[in-house]
Amino acid sequence: MNVLLEARRLEKQYKLGGGRVLHAVSDVSLQVHRGEALALVGESGCGKSSLGRTLIGLTQPTSGEVLFDGHRISGLSDHALRPWRARMQMVFQDSSAAFNPRRTVGESLAEPLRIHGRKNIRARVDDLLDQVGLARSVADRYPHEFSGGQRQRLNIARALVLGPDLLVADEPVSALDVSVQAQIVNLFRDLRASLGVACVFISHDLSVVRQMADRIAVMYLGSIVEEGDGLEVLDRPAHPYTKALLDAVPRPDRPLPPPLKGDVPSPVNPPSGCRFHTRCPIAQPKCATDRPSLQPCGVGRRVACHYPLVA
Amino acid sequence: MGADSLLDIQNLKLDLPDGRRLLEGVSFQVQAGEALGVVGESGSGKSLTAMSVMGLLPGLYASGQIVFAGQNLVGLPDKSMRKLRGARIAMIFQDPMTAFLPVRSIGAQIDEQIRLHQPRSRREARARTVQLLGRMGVPDPAMAAKRYPHQLSGGLRQRAMIAMALSCSPDLLIADEPTTALDVTVQAQILTLLREIRDEGAGVMLITHDMGVVAQACTHVAVMYSGLVVERGPVRDVLDRPLHPYTQALLAAIPPLEGPRPEQLPTIPGQPPTPENRPSGCVFAPRCGFVRPDCGVRPALIETEEGRRVACVLYAV
Amino acid sequence: MIAALLSRIGQMALVIFGISVLVFCIFFATPGADPTARIAGRGASPQVMERVRAEYGFDRPLPVQYVRMMEKLFVSRDLTSFVNHGQKVVPEVASAAPVTLSLVLWAAFFWVMGSLGIGIVSAVLRDSWVDRFMMVLGLIGLSMPVFWLGEVVNLFTQSRWHDTWMFRWVPPLGYVPLTENPLGWARSLLLPSLTLAVSFMGLYARILRSELLSAMGEDSIRTARAKGAGPVRVWLWHGLRLSWLSYVSLFGLDFAQLLGGGALLTEVVFALPGVGRLTYQALATLDLPLIMATVMYAAIFVVIANALVDGIYALLDPRIREGQYGR
């Protein structure tokens, strides 16, 4: 496997009024290999969406760099980014906003092909609809005629039009009903198998992430606290935050353990030391002062904790 | 059953003015001290059922019976309904950000509900508000009462919303997707809170699409599909041994959080019917793997064992 | 808080400065037109021309001319109109201002009351015949030119039926100061202000109706109903509270615009010696100093009103107070 996308020490800060700075992403380094699916999980405000957008150049990092296929794409102008855009696409949560309501979906799907001067446009659109499991005849219909699940399929088709190497999907199934969600989860698996496209899934839903991703990076307040093989991380969490997240998922088979206390601290004013220490059930004095770095922990796993739950 | 139920909904039907039928005959009960989870996908009519109990569906025609504490709410004049709403039946909503008026403080909005139903002075109402907020686990409740909704975190907002709903000690609390907009760790806090409320003797009707939430917060569950209850019973029984093929499929479609990872998730083919093309027989028949000729006749919700009911020909006697 | 206030005042000063420069340039620095001749008036003698040129510094560079003009307007306040036989301009505006203020206050009172009533009733009875009738009425009010309406009112109340019982109380055209005779003041302004208010009433009622109706679809209104609040409380306490914002901002701008001379037509038709009529006269005679003074007066009012609207906004909506609007 070789590296498709690499982030090195990414920082993303937003300036708020009054000299306050929101640290959306702080010191994130990660790699996505060709054909691999990485999931960024965490609660709202943990920076997973900001990170996703920074990875594909929709926003520029404050510092650090992003390499795509060995080339530096962070800091490039919009114009210089354009050739890369075809190779990285984004799928959004709100599946209804991505299509022009006054044009047939066929026209919308064909547009990027026309812009990039591709041939055999009609055949390509038919191909795409086959791939996402829609009938070819839907190309002549308008976006409002589709259900939420079908629209999400179209949305994925739109992202696949130019044959990208990487998809970044921000909460691709969280707006869907369970039965439809399962269809889309399966679709992503099929597409990865048939097209070899790498995916970065951004999600808050651990069971969905477990089903969709090879590797998981758990984020808390802008930083990755734990990263590794998906099943490994979720079956034997090393970071107390990962464990707390897992415990908080309501499941039919066991009563809820006592939940974490309090709310996520403000990213404008993050705690000192380990950012999780204010809510951590096993915090020690050292955690309030020393910030743990992401250290190897087992095979292909990294964790940022002074007292990891697995050695 | 029936006479001693806190809430007894019998064959509730709801029609649009143009004749489309949104609810096809919903029946279930909620007892005091119990929590009924109403689960279903979007469009199944679970929220409509809740709003019917609140009497908050202007422009729709309801028929059937909603008996609350011995009184039929269908056709009750709005004036009498208003005395119940907020006082004996209270409701909390999915998004506490939009559910609160953005331009008034949380405390003022809770005070308002108290003073709408109880002859209390401003000061007494505020004292009660602060006490309620404190009980809901809001830190520094007196200060929090002076805050505006946007100044609180999502979890605190939902706690304030629950405090408001409980301000007049209602007999029945209806919660419409109360944790959907919240993060899991905060959701766990709110579910624990709902559990305590039920333990204190109120009846709870929890509307959700999340089976895990039902398992955590409810004692009973009713599964809705296309405007009908297709299965209901005690939570443990239904989740461990779902009878209706729809319930089975719904549970199977949830990706597991433990054990082996399936190559493909089981899915339900097709989509739920819209009110216009709802089948005259079993509403789930077009998507069902067990469909038989006699599914062409709508099956009744029959009792299969003590406290369990299912509407499916597979269990007809 | 104080820092915010100071920066706000600084902004206001900057805006007023910008407007003054712009107005000055338009009237005094237009290439090819000699402001001296225009200020001195038609057929002025060379001596007068020379005096004007020296006084205004028209033989000096533009910035100096600008400073002179502003000094005459705001510091020494002795800017004089040559067209109008040496009348001092600033006191003229100052004496016209109370007339306009009285007229606009009355009109605002009528249009706020009227639009509130019509808007709320229409929204509550939406899609009924009452609603449709009121909205058509509003549209008619909106589309009636104020000078025409004013003339019609005058026609009925001043000439044809003036001596019937209905309009006997109507005083002759013109203005009665409040300090002289409060009752006469009210009487002299009643019809002009109603005339001025009609079109605003129609517009504001329509805006309030649509804002109210969209507010009634909000989740927080559903919550209010779920709390057991009655319809009166839901509409007036919760609904109005949500729909105020655009109404208030529009009101502030219209009010300021009218104070600044926007009531020109009404004042002319009813012979009220207000700022609008002054502007009208100044334009008719191309009296540059007077134009300069009235325009600056209007600008100051609009800027102050803007600041007031922002203040009221912040009072109405705590999210704006913290500068983090948006959900």
Q: What is the pLDDT of residues C101-135, one digit of tens each?
A: 999 999 999 999 999 999 999 999 988 999 999 99
- In our burial notation (b when 16+ CB lie closer than 10 A, e otherwise), range A269-288 reads ebbebbbbbbbbeebeeebe
Minimum-distance CB partner of A244 among B185, B265, B266: B185
- Distance, in Å, from the CA atom of C324 to the CA atom of C315, rounded to the nearest integer, reads 14
Say if the Cβ atoms of A263 and B261 lie within 8 Å: no
pLDDT > 50? residue B1: no
> Are A99 and A110 within 8 A, CB to CB?
no
- Distance, in Å, from the CA atom of C171 to the CA atom of A163, rounded to the nearest integer, reads 82
Tokens of C316: 């109405």
pLDDT > 60? residue C68: yes
What is the reported pLDDT for A95? Answer: 63
Burial class (CB in 10 A: 0-12, 13-18, 19+), B155: buried
Bridging pattern class, strands B203-208 and A63-68: unpaired
- Helices and strands in chain C, H and E counts: 15, 2
CA distance C209 to chain B (A): 19
User: What is the helix, strand, coil percentage profile of chain B, to 5?
Assistant: 35, 20, 40
Which residue spans within chain B are E strands per DSSP? 7-15, 21-30, 35-39, 61-68, 71-72, 89-92, 172-176, 203-208, 220-225, 228-234, 302-305, 308-310
Residue with tokens 């039929």: B72
Burial class (CB in 10 A: 0-12, 13-18, 19+), A120: exposed
Chain B residues near residue C242 by CB distance under 8 angstroms? 101-103
- Residues constituting chain A: 311
- Distance, in Å, from the CA atom of A311 to the CA atom of A303, rounded to the nearest integer, reads 10
The neighbour count for residue A196, using CB atoms within 10 Å, is 11
Judged by DSSP in three states, C179 sits in coil
Tokens of B22: 């949104």
What is the reported pLDDT for B14? Answer: 94
> Are C12 and C304 within 8 A, CB to CB?
yes
CA nearest to B107, candidates B136, B82, B128, B135: B128
Minimum-distance CB partner of A207 among B155, B257, B266: B257
Confidence of residue A36 (pLDDT cuts 50, 70, 90): very high
Chain C within 8 Å of B100 (Cβ-Cβ)? Answer: yes
Give mean pLDDT, residues A158-175: 91
Judged by DSSP in three states, A42 sits in coil
CA nearest to A47, candidates A37, A33, A35, A61: A61
User: What are A91's strand-pairing partners?
Assistant: A169
- In our burial notation (b when 16+ CB lie closer than 10 A, e otherwise), range C155-176 reads ebbbeeeeeeeebeebbeeebb
In a mutational test of the B interface, the residue from C222, C223, C240 whose CB has the highest number of chain B CBs within 10 Å is C223
Tokens of A217: 């990076």
- Distance, in Å, from the CA atom of B41 to the CA atom of B287, rounded to the nearest integer, reads 14
- Distance, in Å, from the CA atom of A271 to the CA atom of C71, rounded to the nearest integer, reads 57
CA nearest to A270, candidates A226, A232, A225: A225
Question: pLDDT over 90 for what percent of chain B?
Answer: 67
Say if the Cβ atoms of B112 and C229 lie within 8 Å: yes
Name residues whose C-beta falls within 8 Å of residue A147's C-beta, 6 or more positions apart in sequence. Answer: A180, B271
Question: What residue of B is the nearest CA neighbor of A177?
Answer: B41
The neighbour count for residue C256, using CB atoms within 10 Å, is 22
Judged by DSSP in three states, A4 sits in strand
CA distance C2 to chain B (A): 22
User: What are A168's strand-pairing partners?
Assistant: A90, A200
- Distance, in Å, from the CA atom of B206 to the CA atom of B36, rounded to the nearest integer, reads 6
pLDDT > 60? residue A1: no
Confidence of residue C178 (pLDDT cuts 50, 70, 90): confident
Judged by DSSP in three states, C124 sits in helix
What is the reported pLDDT for B105? Answer: 93
Tokens of B30: 């909620």
Residue with tokens 């004089």: C80
Judged by DSSP in three states, A195 sits in helix
- Distance, in Å, from the CA atom of B297 to the CA atom of B96, rounded to the nearest integer, reads 42
CA distance B116 to chain C (A): 7
**Least confidently predicted of A262-271, B135-144, C31-40, C280-289:** C31-40
Residue with tokens 């949305």: A155
Minimum-distance CB partner of A250 among B209, B210, B261: B210
What is the reported pLDDT for C130? Answer: 92
Chain B residues near residue A248 by CB distance under 8 angstroms? 184-185, 187-188
> Are A61 and A34 within 8 A, CB to CB?
no
State the pTM of this model: 0.85
What is the reported pLDDT for C32? Answer: 67
Give mean pLDDT, residues A144-171: 90
Chain B within 8 Å of C160 (Cβ-Cβ)? Answer: no
> Are B20 and B276 within 8 A, CB to CB?
yes
User: What is the helix, strand, coil percentage profile of chain A, to 5?
Assistant: 35, 25, 45
CA distance A51 to chain B (A): 19
Chain B residues near residue C229 by CB distance under 8 angstroms? 82, 86, 112, 116
- Residues constituting chain B: 317
Q: Which domains, ranges and CATH numbers included, belong to chain B?
A: 1-83+207-256+264-317 (3.40.50.300)
Say if the Cβ atoms of C318 and B150 lie within 8 Å: yes
pLDDT > 50? residue C300: yes
What is the reported pLDDT for C241? Answer: 86
Confidence of residue C326 (pLDDT cuts 50, 70, 90): very low
In a mutational test of the C interface, the residue from B89, B97, B100, B101 whose CB has the highest number of chain C CBs within 10 Å is B101
Please tell me which of B7-16, C4-13, C185-194 the model is most confident about, judged by mean pLDDT: B7-16
Judged by DSSP in three states, B29 sits in strand
Q: Where are the alpha helices (DSSP H) in A38-177?
A: 48-55, 78-85, 105-115, 121-131, 148-160
CA nearest to A244, candidates A48, A51, A43: A43
Q: What is the mean pLDDT of chain C?
A: 84
Element (H, E) at B113: helix B106-117
The neighbour count for residue B71, using CB atoms within 10 Å, is 11
Torsion, Cα of A256, A261, A267, A270 (10° steps)? -130
- Distance, in Å, from the CA atom of C8 to the CA atom of C177, rounded to the nearest integer, reads 35
> Are B154 and B182 within 8 A, CB to CB?
yes
- Distance, in Å, from the CA atom of B164 to the CA atom of B86, rounded to the nearest integer, reads 9
Give one DSSP letter per residue of C98-115, joined into a string.
HHHHHHHHHHHHHHHHHH
Question: pLDDT over 70 for what percent of chain A?
Answer: 98
Give mean pLDDT, residues C280-302: 84
Confidence of residue C1 (pLDDT cuts 50, 70, 90): low
Handedness of CA C282, C286, C290, C293 (dihedral sign): positive
Tokens of C112: 């706020």
- Distance, in Å, from the CA atom of C191 to the CA atom of A144, rounded to the nearest integer, reads 54
Question: What residue of B is the nearest CA neighbor of A185?
Answer: B265
> Are B9 and B65 within 8 A, CB to CB?
yes
The neighbour count for residue A17, using CB atoms within 10 Å, is 8
Q: What is the pLDDT of residues C133-145, one digit of tens each?
A: 999 988 898 888 8
Q: Which domains, ranges and CATH numbers included, belong to chain C?
A: 2-76 (no CATH), 95-295 (1.10.3720.10)
> Are B9 and B53 within 8 A, CB to CB?
yes
Name the phi and psi angles at C32, rounded to 5.
85, -10
Q: Which domains, ranges and CATH numbers included, belong to chain A?
A: 3-83+207-303 (3.40.50.300)
| Amino acid at site C108 | A
> Are C27 and C291 within 8 A, CB to CB?
yes
CA distance B256 to chain A (A): 6
Q: What is the pLDDT of residues B47-97, one digit of tens each?
A: 999 999 999 887 889 999 999 999 999 989 989 999 999 999 999 998 888
Give mean pLDDT, residues A279-307: 92
Element (H, E) at B187: helix B184-199
CA nearest to A250, candidates C242, B243, C271, B208: B208
